[in-house]
Structure 1
Amino acid sequence: MAGATGLWVFGYGSLCWNPGFEFKRSMTGHVRGFGRRFWQGNDSHRGTAAKPGRVATLIDDKKEITYGRAFEVTGSAALPYLEKRECKLGGYFTTISTFYSRDGLHSFPVVIYIATNKNKQWLGDAPVHAIAQQILESEGPSGHNVEYLLRLADFMHQFIPEAHDEHLFTLELIVRAKVKELNLCLKSLMGNREFVIQMKMDKDSDSSNNDVQDVQDNVPRGHSHQYTSRIAGTTLRCLKS
């Protein structure tokens, strides 16, 4: 892809709908050889030490592909921010893969944050109903675990409707059914806030109309965790082979 010479980061979880860092442009697409699973624990954003939430990671599977959003990073604050958010607090490390745009015209290397069973927050596989129940019961400084799951599923439905993700969408169906069954307030679970993500064509670049720009009413919750983004340095210090 002409012009794809910068550093690109692939988001497949909350980065899809709430990147939280400055970027030049983004586009939707997929990486191959990975499957998305809610196997990583989280006690800093979507849960607590006593009751960790479950968030997405990727597992190696040659038969699967994972849909998400690639960002071209700009500025000096993005990588330190991501290192803190994903590596130091989240337990993820970085690897490199190839991103393929939705239109099939572009492919280029991307950095991916992945968690494995070698980190202390790892929860691993469990029956899907048990995972859904844990998501339903977990909440952390950044909001409820239900919000994390449903906003990710909504992003896929809205911007990548052809995406097939049995694990994600099964969890979505179970959790939505439980919320209705228990007569819970979905608006409260979603943080009483909205993230409006608008598709917009970047006419000044080679990227196609897969480009995405955020237009968000992203007012932090009163107890929202604030990440430090102004940290010197731009290297991926949590990079592992």
Structure 2
Amino acid sequence: MSDFWVFGYGSLMWNPGFDHLRAEQALLRGAHRALCVYSWVHRGTQERPGLVFGLDNGGACRGLAYQVSEDIWPQTLEYLRAREQTTMVYKEHWHHVELGSGEKVKALVYMVDHGHPQYAGALPPEKQLEIVEGAVGKSGKNPEYVINTAAHLEEMGIADTALAWLAGQLKGTGNP
């Protein structure tokens, strides 16, 4: 039996939405987590975009790798594509990730497409705050997404000072 792996670095860490055999902390080299995607659906609209995480080139990213059994892989992939590829801002890639146990596995990752109109690039923290504060999409308020991701990274012992600052600012504005 051959199992598949999915790497989560944003909301997939705290809301995977699919069955899995196990989840383990993992390190992806060659890409980093960044609030670099304008959200036109899940955490904003085209008229009032929010910001969500993407995997951008360079650096490294700690997240969660989910092992999915072969027998439910087709449904899982269909679910992930419906969730992550709503506007095709991400490209599916297979990358090696190193699990917390030291094991190396090949995992499906969603990398941001630099040529897509929703690619925001590297925005200054103050601009991120301005965009996130009032944005709402079909999956909820944008501040909630950022705060939840920051909280889960902290619980996992993953330091992200820029995200911690942003979450702190959002909490200070009365946002959930």
Q: TM-score, normalised by structure 2?
A: 0.90
Matches within 5 A, 1:90-169: 91-103=89-101, 105-158=102-155, 160-161=156-157, 163-169=158-164
Deviations 1:169-222 (A, max 9, x none): 232233223x2xxxx252xxxxxxxxxxxxxxxxxxxxxxxxxxxxxxxxxxxx
Distance in 2, Cα, partners of 1:88 & 1:50: 17
Deviations 1:20-69 (A, max 9, x none): 122222111221122211010111110011111100012221xx321111
Aligned residues: 173
Distance in 2, Cα, partners of 1:185 & 1:6: 40
Q: TM-score, normalised by structure 1?
A: 0.67
**More helix as a share of residues:** 2
1:174 aligns with 2:169: yes
**Residue equivalent to 2:23:** 26
2:9 pairs, out of 2, 12, 15, with 12
2:38 pairs, out of 26, 37, 41, with 41
Distance in 1, Cα, partners of 2:166 & 2:175: 18
- State the Cα RMSD in Å: 1.8
Distance in 2, Cα, partners of 1:95 & 1:120: 20
Distance in 2, Cα, partners of 1:166 & 1:107: 27
Could you tell me which runs of 5 or more consecutive residues in structure 1 were left unpaired when the two chains were aligned: 187-241
Is the 2:26–2:98 Cα contact (8 Å) retained in structure 1? yes
Matches within 5 A, 1:226-241: none
Distance 1:42 1:90, change over 3 A: farther
1:51 aligns with 2:15: no
Distance in 2, Cα, partners of 1:140 & 1:39: 17
1:88 aligned counterpart, secondary structure: coil
Letter in 2 for 1:86: E
**Residue equivalent to 1:236:** none
Greater Rg over alpha carbons, structure: 1
Is the 1:37–1:167 Cα contact (8 Å) retained in structure 2? no
2:36 aligned counterpart, secondary structure: strand
2:114 aligned counterpart, secondary structure: coil
